Amino acid sequence: MAVIEVKNFKKCFGDKVVHEDVSFYVKKGECLGLVGGSGTGKSVLLRSLIGLEKPDGGTIHINDREVSNLKESDWIDLRKTVAYAFQGGALFDSMTVYQNLAYPLNEHSHLSQSEISTRITSQLNDFGLAGTESLYPSEISGGMQKRVGLARAMMLEPEVILYDEPTAGLDPYNTKRIQELILKLKAKGVTAILVTHDMPTAFAVCDKFAFLKDKVIKEQGTTEQLKNQPNSLIHQFVEGNIL
């Protein structure tokens, strides 16, 4: 059963058409790699899946619920189960790392403060961020901010995670760590869409790919299929032969 299903999706900004007739689906526990050149609208598509952008046409179904025309107030419940990991972390700069991680739990869970504290400590250890609890986002590096953002997105143990360039700007050690975390969540049945230019990570964690170019998805297929087709667009994209 498809957890995310996008049909004939269209998005414009004024006169500029970013997407027209984009369709794909992601089944439960699958990870779809959404790849394409810079400026092809991968992040816009991802943002539309969580209601941060309004589509101009087509339908989006999440867990069989049509969400493309939902009101902002109706999104609130849905966003407890669909998480979005922002490219730059999007941390609240007036809050410490601890407060940033506690935010979703304080908002939506009934956990006690000691349970929240235990959960945050464990999450910080998983992300290699132990000892940063009392620091503000301005006091940690960009890579650490990104990891805190990822950790925050995962705090509510969502069913779906939308990753926007989760490994961009990270060192190889932390990139591997993020890959392992994505795989760990996948093993738990979490459905994901990964927007990235980091193809080794994409090949390591994605079950299938969609290649965005010229406002549409030019190519779709499983990782194995695409790996074994040297003429595929994704292969050529990885080789740097096309944009």
Partner 1 sequence: MNNLIAYSFKEWLTDQLYFLGGLVYLTRDCLREGFKKPHNTKLLVEQIYQVGYRSFPLVLVTSGAIGMVMALQFGYGLEKFGGKPYVPRLVASTILREIGPMFTSLMFAARVGAGIASEIGSMVVTQQIDAIRALGSSPIKKIVIPRVLACLIVLPLLAAMANVIGNLGGLVVGSLELNIDAQFYYRRIIETSNIKDYMSGFGKTFFFALFIAIPSCYFGLNVKNGTQEVGVATRKAVVTSSLLILIGDFFLAKIFWVLEKWL
Whole-number Å distance between alpha carbons of 22 and 216: 5
Token pair, residue 215, equals 């406002």
Whole-number Å distance between alpha carbons of 129 and 112: 22
Q: How far is the CB of 150 from partner 1 (least distance, A)?
A: 12
Q: How far is the CB of 85 from partner 1 (least distance, A)?
A: 9
Rounded to 10 degrees, the C-alpha dihedral 62/66/70/73 comes to -50
Residue closer to partner 1 by CB (options 90, 111) is: 90
Q: How far is the CB of 84 from partner 1 (least distance, A)?
A: 4
Q: Which of 50, 151, 160, 182 binds partner 1 (CB under 8 A)?
A: 50
| Number of other residues whose CB lies within 10 A of the CB of residue 98 | 18
Cβ neighbours for 131, distance < 8 A, ≥ 6 positions apart: none
Whole-number Å distance between alpha carbons of 7 and 17: 17
**Segment 98-117, which members bind partner 1 (CB under 8 A)?**
103-104, 107-108
Q: How far is the CB of 70 from partner 1 (least distance, A)?
A: 12
Residue pair 154/162 in contact by the 8 Å Cβ criterion: no
Angstrom distances, CA of residue 219 to CA of 34, 191, 208:
10, 21, 11
Token pair, residue 240, equals 């740097």
Residue closer to partner 1 by CB (options 163, 211) is: 163
**Segment 63-92, which members bind partner 1 (CB under 8 A)?**
72-73, 75-77, 79-80, 83-84, 86, 88, 90-92
**Segment 140-159, which members bind partner 1 (CB under 8 A)?**
149, 152-153
How big is the site for partner 1, counted in residues (CB under 8 A)?
26
Q: How far is the CB of 140 from partner 1 (least distance, A)?
A: 15
Residues that bind partner 1 (CB under 8 A): 47, 50-52, 72-73, 75-77, 79-80, 83-84, 86, 88, 90-93, 103-104, 107-108, 149, 152-153
